Copies of this chain bind each other. A is one copy, B any other.
Amino acid sequence: MNVMARAQSSPSTSVGAMPPAPSRVFASDNVAGAHPLVLEALVAANADHVLAYGNDPFTFRAEHAFNEVFGRDVRTLFVYGGTGANVLALASVLQPAECVVCTNWSHINVDETGAPEKILGAKLLDLACPDAKLTPDHIRSVAHALGNPHHAQPAVVSLTQPTELGTLYTPAEVRAICDTAHELGMLVHMDAARIGNATAALGASRSALRAFTVDAGVDVLSFGGTKAGNVFGEAVVWFDPRRATRAEYLRKNVTQLHSKMRFISAQYEALLANDLFIELGRRANAAAMGLYEATKQHAVLGLTTPPAVNSLFPTLPDPAKSRLQEWSFFWDWDVAAQQVRWMTAWDVTQDDVAQFAAGVGAALNG
């Protein structure tokens, strides 16, 4: 039985005098459903027969929408899920005996059950980064392996934006990493499963998005869809289409080619229209900021810094922690440090935030 099942089946013991629980939980951003406009687009795509595997007008339009977002002819391939997006992106730019440079916190390293090593057949060179952010010095620190046949060759740097700790790379930080990587002959992948949150936080515009991706020198991007408001479906974007020559074959080779492709494409069309993905990221970020403002007065939580995007990592000792989790579930983050994670989805309201904050207060004072 996994931890999630354990969590859910935990007995509902006495909770004392708690206020009503909010309608939405702060467990993750994948506990939310799809945005109505996205769902409408999916439903509308269900009309006629169209050819499978992306040879359909929905996909042509969605690909075009990505060109518009990035202001150039990019290569976009739609896939099923986030792990698949990362694996496809990395597979497209790795050669045998090469390795991927990432942080010890990175999703590809920690949360994908070894899929990258299995499918890429490649080492992940995970570097200890207390704040989950790589720097040019990190990249330089692995360069000694280049040319040494006893070491897997560092070839791709993988950044997560926002990071797994809810922090952000500025455009200048991304650019410095890309410059260093390129000087050393490496390429740069960005895992942006929460790209809406990052964009909202860094300027909330297409130019803000471009600033920390294509303009900063990123080569291949996992452009998140599911956490952003899709039912399912992720996108991989190559800024130089020549890097994607093998990608179309690789997509099926890594089990990520959907036959009824229109259903992913239609969702992305809706998600990009009017920058909906940025707006939804903004809402989630605002909910997290609201929660921060509403709970920072509890010193025990240690919330000294406002969230950059949509997650908080408060310290929360028992019994308050258990009472709160039973009342409105969220995940432990670091049990030894008594740290938990509160994360907001695109649909969390300020009412939800207020109710949750009230519960936090009640649990702490209970």
Contact = CB atoms under 8 A, between A and B. Distances in A.
Interface of A: 1-5, 7-8, 23-25, 27-28, 30-34, 39, 42-43, 45-55, 80-84, 87, 91, 95-99, 110-115, 117-119, 121-124, 126, 128, 144, 147-153, 226-227, 231-232, 246, 248-260, 262-264, 329, 335, 345
B113 A80 contact: no
Given A121-B121, A149-B2, A231-B260, A250 B33 contact: no
B258 A51 contact: no
B49 A23 contact: yes
19 contacts: A4-B51, A4-B53, A7-B51, A28-B52, A42-B42, A53-B149, A83-B252, A84-B255, A95-B246, A97-B252, A117-B121, A117-B122, A117-B152, A118-B253, A119-B121, A149-B251, A226-B258, A232-B258, A254-B255
Contact of A80 (B52, B80, B98, B149): B80
Contacts of A152: 113-114, 117, 249, 253
A116 to B, nearest CB: 8
B81 A3 contact: no
Contact of A32 (B2, B49, B150): B49
A260 B232 contact: yes
B329 A253 contact: no
A109 B23 CA distance: 47
B96 A2 contact: no
A35 to B, nearest CB: 9
Contacts of A250: 96-97
A99 to B, nearest CB: 6
A117 B226 CA distance: 29
A25 to B, nearest CB: 5
A232 B46 CA distance: 12
Contacts of A81: 80, 255-259
A115 B48 contact: no
A130 B251 CA distance: 30
Contact of A52 (B31, B34, B147): B31
B117 A97 contact: no
B255 A115 contact: yes
Contact of A248 (B114, B149, B264): B149
Contacts of A262: 33
B113 A150 contact: yes
**What 4 A-B pairs have minimum CB-CB distances, sorted nearest first?**
A114-B152, A97-B249, A80-B80, A33-B46
Greatest chain B CB density within 10 A among A31, A33, A49, A82 is at: A49
